[in-house]
Amino acid sequence: MKKFNYTIKDQLGLHARPVSNLVKILEKYNIEAAIIKGDKSAQADHLLALMQLGVKKGDTITVEIDGPDEEFAEKEIETFFCESL
């Protein structure tokens, strides 16, 4: 399992456009991914569940990635967060 923390910099927080782009990235890999905020978590490929986490600018989330492609996926997902959120 791979994981990293990320502090959201986007003014709108974790919102629909970047979340839908994240889902497209996840579809390329054989992984399970979750986003954790405090004591709540959501599967990263479930748009509505992610939106319900209420992640705002300044919030720190943890991204957990597990599966055969986790090594490759982690790099692309972390780059995505840095460039998009």
Q: Tell me the β-bridge partners of 60.
A: 7
Question: Helix (H, G, I), strand (E, B), or coil: what is residue 43?
Answer: strand
Question: Is 15 among the residues known to form the active site?
Answer: yes
Cβ burial of 2 (10 Å; 0-12, 13-18, 19+) is middle
Catalytic-labelled residue, pool 2, 15, 46, 56: 15
Residues noted as catalytic: 15
